[in-house]
């Protein structure tokens, strides 16, 4: 009877190595896929305003940089682990006091940090710029809702817990915002604008949005502010300039004027003793 020929020793070792390498590559790839990381947005919104688009691009470049540098470091670690894994005198060549190498690994990270800092500074200056504007909206946060008033007009929008107030603003125009709080600290966050600011009692936070496209975007409070914090939603409806003018004009009657004056003075508070629930649980505006 003939004994089957054994595969050559070298081929077995190579097959085992290949299997290990595939596992080493598959594991990080699986981790990346399972983490739900979306490429090329890296989980951020592409942005509906000028500054949010800059923030988005900054985020993209930061993420790409992190992936490249992280990947390079991982490869170096992997190489050292695999190449020098045997015990004994299997020590890599020591190269301390290699001045050019040491200077390179001090200077290169410094340059990277300066680059990241400069890019962040440019984008943040853009985001905090307050150019001259024709439209102003006062945003007032309270437990647990939002009031949006439009100085110089009778328009106002108000809503709490069970409601979803919808702030209206024009596209293609700088709109100035004054953000305040009536009671505790709230967070004004609009995902599509890549923007978040504290609404602080006794402090006026100012910022400007230049919406680049029309649409309805989701906003919410991002600072745990009490019992019904989770119900502090609102919407931002970006409309054309003519639609905005029509909307403002729709408040031009004496009853609206009286209501707007009263709303501007009122500090709203949650009054219902019944546990409020939202009419809809749909997330919109993405």
- What residues make contact with Cu ion under the rule CB under 5 A? 186, 221, 225, 229, 232
Residue pair 28/78 in contact by the 8 Å Cβ criterion: no
Choice between 229 and 237, CB closer to Cu ion: 229
Smallest gap from residue 285 Cβ to Cu ion (A): 19
Choice between 53 and 147, CB closer to Cu ion: 147
Smallest gap from residue 36 Cβ to Cu ion (A): 25
CA distance 286 to 282: 11
Nearest to 193 by CA among 37, 54, 95: 54
Choice between 225 and 239, CB closer to Cu ion: 225
Choice between 197 and 229, CB closer to Cu ion: 229
Give the count of alpha carbons within 13 A of 49, CB side only: 27
For residue 40, say if its preceding peptide bond is cis, omega within 30 degrees of 0. yes
Q: How many CB atoms lie within 10 A of CB 155?
A: 21
Choice between 135 and 221, CB closer to Cu ion: 221
Burial 213-225 (b: 16+ CB within 10 A, else e): eeeebbbbbbbeb
Smallest gap from residue 68 Cβ to Cu ion (A): 38
Smallest gap from residue 187 Cβ to Cu ion (A): 6
Task: Please give the C-alpha separations between residue 6 and each of 2, 9, 17, in angstroms, as whole numbers.
Answer: 12, 8, 18
């Amino acid at each position: 009877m003939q004994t089957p020929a054994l595969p050559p020793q070298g081929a077995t070792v190579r097959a085992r190595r290949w299997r290990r390498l595939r596992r080493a590559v598959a594991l990080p790839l699986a981790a990346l896929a399972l983490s739900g990381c979306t490429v090329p947005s890296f989980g951020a919104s592409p942005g509906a305003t000028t500054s949010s688009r800059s923030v988005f691009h900054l985020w993209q470049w930061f993420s790409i940089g992190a992936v490249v540098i992280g990947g390079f470091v991982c490869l170096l670690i992997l190489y050292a682990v695999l190449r020098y894994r045997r015990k004994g005198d299997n020590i890599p060549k020591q190269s301390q006091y290699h001045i050019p190498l040491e200077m390179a690994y001090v200077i290169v990270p410094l340059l990277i940090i300066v680059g990241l800092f400069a890019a962040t500074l440019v984008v943040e200056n853009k985001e905090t710029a307050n150019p001259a504007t024709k439209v102003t909206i006062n945003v007032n946060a309270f437990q647990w809702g939002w009031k949006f008033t439009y100085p110089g007009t009778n328009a106002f929008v108000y809503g709490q817990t069970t409601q979803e107030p919808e702030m209206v603003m024009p596209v293609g125009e700088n709109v100035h915002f004054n953000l305040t709080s009536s009671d505790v600290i709230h967070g004004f966050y609009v995902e599509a604008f890549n923007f978040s600011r504290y609404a602080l009692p006794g402090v006026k936070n100012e910022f400007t949005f230049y919406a680049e496209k029309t649409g309805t975007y989701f906003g919410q409070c991002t600072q745990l502010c009490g019992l019904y914090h989770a119900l502090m939603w609102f919407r931002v409806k970006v409309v054309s300039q003519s639609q905005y003018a029509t909307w403002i004009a729709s408040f031009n009657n004496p009853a609206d004027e009286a209501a707007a004056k009263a709303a501007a003075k009122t500090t709203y508070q949650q009054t219902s003793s019944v546990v409020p629930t939202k009419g809809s649980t749909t997330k919109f505006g993405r």
